[in-house]
Structure 1
Amino acid sequence: MLAEKFGKYSDYASVVLRLALGSILFWHGQAKFMNFAGTAGFFGGMFPAPSLFAVIAVLIELVGGAFLILGVLTRLSALLVALEFAVILFLRMLIWKNPLVAFQGGNSFELDLLIFAAAVALILAGSGKLGLERQVFRKELI
């Protein structure tokens, strides 16, 4: 019954996912950009070239987030996001030993896991009918 009612709209599921994930990433990227020194300082304890890794994170989140919102290079943007968040999940679970959910406050990784899963879903699904790339070129470029 629900499939009959909503099944015809399944092509638009990726639009909802793109807008939500892209918005989250864009605002997180903007925060990293606005406090770039703090972002680079945070990466300083983990990576040998903290400024380079900060630039990479900012670009993936700001540009990738904007591309996801617009539906441009969706699969490529989602792939880069998935790679970034695979590293984040590795650090949170195996190195820092953060819990999935922090019931008493503190750091956890449930949002990172959700972002990773959404990115993987967009790698598989693409931009959807309303992606700018599909509207302009009638296909996804990558």
Structure 2
Amino acid sequence: MSPHASESSTPVKSGELVQLEYELWAEGGGRTDLIDATSEEIVQKATGTLPSGRTFGPRPHLIGGEYFPVGIEKVLENAQIGEEFEREFAPADAFGERDPNLIELFSMSEVQRLPEMRREDAELDIGTVLTIRGRRGRVVTLTQ
């Protein structure tokens, strides 16, 4: 993750709005999956596809907010503006342990019939949260 602002090394504080460039990866079960990224090149390389309508580049982020799990937010609160770093997190501090029993595959036609995907502004992307067959989940992989 790389909080970007001025060239100076100013500490980031909770409640501040910053621009972030980042890659989030999950390892488990012998796999490494891209969860989210702000780089078009990284997403293309990791997934072999680019979501239509997706905007890449630094994203605004409220430090201490609820977009990332608490463990990741704590690291961001201690970052310096302009600093680039890599961190590994225990599952409990990030998105939790991978449970293969919770991973389900769905056809694109089934996903496209979901009410949330029929909206005019609907976008399907890695990280998109969907409710399908009464269960809520996050898209972690898209294949053709």
TM-score by length of 1: 0.26
| Greater strand fraction, Structure 1 or Structure 2 | 2
Higher helix share: 1
Q: TM-score normalized by structure 2? A: 0.25
